[in-house]
Amino acid sequence: MKEEVDGITKLIGQGMLAEGLLTQEQLNLLLSAQPKRGQRLGEVAVELGMIEESRLAEFLAKFFNLPHVKLEEQEELDPSAAELIPETLARRYVVVVIRRESSGLTVAMADPLDVRAIDAIRLETKCRIKKVVASRSAILRSIDRVYHAPSRIASSMDHLFEGDTVETEDAAGVQIEQLKYEASDAPVIQFVNLLLMRAIQ
């Protein structure tokens, strides 16, 4: 198994070299440092500043013949699908479910070789998994949006409707703008009842 992993690591390194992402000297350094760090070759390259995280994601998608997503557009991610797995699992493996279809779940991963992540999601959801690749930071931002938008919106509403926290019209305007910003970060249909109740109060 170790020999297989080492072989894939070298193939990825050669691929990065062929794409002009690394020099031979950089690749030699990475192949030497990677086993000691216990990380993927690409992760080490990012940490050492040899390649940008977004470029690594694009390369891995091409290398493994998988779709690449940036997760920058709201429509790229369905929050109701993402919440099919717990946040702890999403953060542990740096994955996010972006769509649910009849054929299964589409999952964005920073590490498409992580079979443990796929097994964990499959066990949790009992669904087939289709992999796509995104950068680590983009996935983590998506996780923040999906799992913490509800609490942020509720908190913004609490402050907005607490009369003693709004001292001036300007302050109220700031609260409203903040609420609008939070609302734009994730679908708020599920909070309509809460909005109405707070407005009545």
CB-based burial, 171-181: b 16+ in 10 Å, e otherwise: eeeebeebbee
Q: How far is CA 110 from CA 50, 67, 176, 194, in A?
A: 17, 12, 35, 35
Tell me the mean pLDDT per 10 residues along the chain, length 201. 66 94 94 88 94 96 96 80 94 95 94 95 95 95 83 51 47 46 46 53 48
Task: Determine the pLDDT at residue 23.
Answer: 94
> What is the spatial distance between Cα 131 and Cα 123, in angstroms, rounded to a whole number?
16
Task: Determine the pLDDT at residue 74.
Answer: 63
Question: 């040899």: which residue's tokens?
Answer: 50
Task: Determine the pLDDT at residue 171.
Answer: 44
pLDDT by residue (tens digit) across 49-72? 999 999 999 999 999 999 999 998
Q: Locate 176 and state its tokens.
A: 């409203």
Can you give the pTM of this predicted structure?
0.71
Q: How far is CA 12 from CA 31, 36, 177, in A?
A: 11, 18, 46
Task: Determine the pLDDT at residue 190.
Answer: 45
